[in-house]
Amino acid sequence: MASISDIRFHIKSINQTRQITNAMYLVSASRMRKAIKRMEQNSAYYYRALDTMLDIRAHTGEVVHPYLTHRPGQPKMGYIIIAGDKGLAGSYNHDILAFAEEKLKNKNVTQIFTVGDVATRYFKRTGREVNARFENMMTDLSVDTSRALMALIKQLFDQRVIDEVHIIYMRFINSANQKPKDFKLLPIELADFGADHQPRADNISMLYDPSPEQVFDALVPQFMIGVIYGTMVHAYASENSARMSAMENATHSADKLIKKLTLQYNSMRQLAITSELNEIVSAANVFNEKGDHSG
């Protein structure tokens, strides 16, 4: 049975752990709010590029462009998998990697790109080759990372090393709801976006100089940067939301354990004090009895 000093030490240790989990909760909450703000800022950039491409298609008819065209045969596929750089985020990393594993099954996957140290370590452990890795990037959330990843993907696509590119990430819906998603980056499926897009209400035939195809050459990289950065921000918000929940649960568990141990500590102290009082009373009685006999 634990002694009073053992329980006191245990309470102190749990209190210290509680302070850490509570601090991590507050940090994660701040990072999640920061990510949500960046999501809103990136949306304007992303939709501007998308709307321009959809307007070109609406006013010029079907545009033939390498980044919009499916290649014949079984596609050589590349996957960008975005996970965290660290754990302590509940089931976040497990859920996104299990989803990725399911998506990669029975596919002709020739290139894997990981964002986040957890994803890199997972695929190395499972025997899959990681062709490019971007680690310690999630905390910084730099557009430079998205630009570097876009340049690599574009180069491999142009060289026909890959024919199709997907991004697997955790989409942030709200602080209580995140959902793993598989987004096809290349070739771009403008038809998927067209249903929600309202072209400009005019009958003007627009001319693009030098040509719609060359305008697409400039727009597609910007669109890709917006998509990659957006998925990273969604993943970062989702990770910190999951970490908030995990740290909140850990803090509540610590509170319950501290309460239980404090009751046990107080009960043992009361028993110890009662025992000491009984000893004092017994000693006093013995002393009084001796005094009576001597009188």
Measure the CA–CA gap between 251 and 137, rounded to whole angstroms.
Answer: 28
Domains and CATH numbers, the chain: 30-195+204-248 (3.40.1380.10)
To the nearest 10°, the Cα dihedral for 206, 210, 50, 67?
Answer: 130
Measure the CA–CA gap between 258 and 156, rounded to whole angstroms.
Answer: 56
Measure the CA–CA gap between 225 and 200, rounded to whole angstroms.
Answer: 25
To 5 degrees, how large is the angle CA 83–CA 71–CA 147?
40
| Residue 73 DSSP one-character state | S
**pLDDT digits (tens), the chain, 295 positions:** 678 888 889 899 999 999 999 999 999 999 999 999 998 888 888 888 888 888 877 777 667 788 888 888 889 999 999 999 888 889 999 999 999 999 999 899 999 999 989 999 999 999 999 999 987 766 667 788 889 999 999 999 999 999 999 999 999 999 889 999 999 999 988 776 654 555 555 555 666 667 777 888 888 898 999 999 999 999 999 999 999 999 999 999 999 999 999 998 888 888 878 877 777 777 777 767 666 655 5
pTM: 0.83
Q: Can you spell out the DSSP letters for 87-156?
A: --STTHHHHHHHHHHHHHTTS-EEEEEEESHHHHHHHHHTTPPPSEEE-S-TTT--HHHHHHHHHHHHHH
Q: Give bridge partners of residue 180 from the DSSP assignment.
A: 170
Q: How far, rounded to the nearest angstrom, does the alpha carbon of residue 45 sit from its chain's CA centroid?
A: 22
